[in-house]
């Protein structure tokens, strides 16, 4: 099967000579014929850029020679309620201690969510019943999610399959997979 035709571009010819030179360059001197050139290798996806709010908050902290708390630059929009960088201008009026405390809250949001998810998991009647029966637990969720299950009959009367399905549904919803199958 022949390679697909390419259109002409500013960095290489679109004709047969352009493909031939690219192929010979890939297996050029000192490089084995099967080795792919650097550009053809699979690249890791770039890290997402910090949101404008996070970037502005980090810059404000730096301008005051304050430490950027771990996790701030990776904080999801939920951690700061999707605020814009305009809010940082208002935050600039805060004292250093208050600003550090607010930045710490944003940075620690993920950890707090994981703690809440752990607490909800450990206190769940579903998990207590699952453990009482000696059934395997699915992976624990890292975020809190509200889930309700019909308790028309007591948990002790549920079959193992019903109990495992309810726990699996809860774990799936809390893991971020929104499918409800």
Distances (CA, A) of 69 to 32, 61, 72: 47, 10, 6
Q: Higher confidence at residue 27 or residue 70?
A: 70
pLDDT at 103 over 80: yes
Confidence at residue 92, expressed as pLDDT on a 0 to 100 scale: 95
Confidence at residue 23, expressed as pLDDT on a 0 to 100 scale: 45
Orientation of helix 160-174 relative to helix 125-133, angle to 10°: 130
* Position 5 confidence tier, pLDDT thresholds 50, 70, 90: low
3-state secondary structure 140-161: CCCCCCCCCCCCCCCHHHCCHH
Handedness of CA 155, 160, 166, 168 (dihedral sign): positive
Q: How many helices (H) and strands (E) does the chain have?
A: 7, 0
């Amino acid at each position: 099967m022949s390679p697909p035709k390419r259109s002409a571009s500013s960095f290489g010819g679109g004709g047969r000579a352009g493909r031939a030179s690219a192929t010979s360059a890939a297996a050029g001197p000192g490089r084995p014929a099967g080795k792919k050139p650097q550009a053809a290798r699979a690249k890791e996806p770039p890290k997402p850029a910090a949101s404008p709010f996070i970037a502005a908050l980090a810059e404000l902290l730096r301008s005051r020679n304050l430490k950027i708390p771990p996790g701030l630059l990776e904080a999801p929009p939920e951690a700061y309620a999707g605020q814009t960088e305009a809010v940082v201008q208002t935050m600039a009026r805060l004292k250093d201690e208050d600003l550090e405390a607010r930045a710490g809250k944003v940075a620690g949001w993920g950890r707090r969510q994981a703690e809440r998810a752990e607490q909800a998991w450990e206190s769940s009647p579903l998990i207590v019943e699952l453990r009482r029966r000696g059934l395997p637990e699915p992976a624990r969720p890292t975020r809190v999610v509200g889930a309700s299950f019909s308790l028309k009959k007591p948990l002790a009367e549920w079959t193992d399959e019903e109990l495992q399905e309810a726990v699996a549904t809860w774990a799936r919803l809390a893991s971020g997979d929104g499918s409800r199958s």
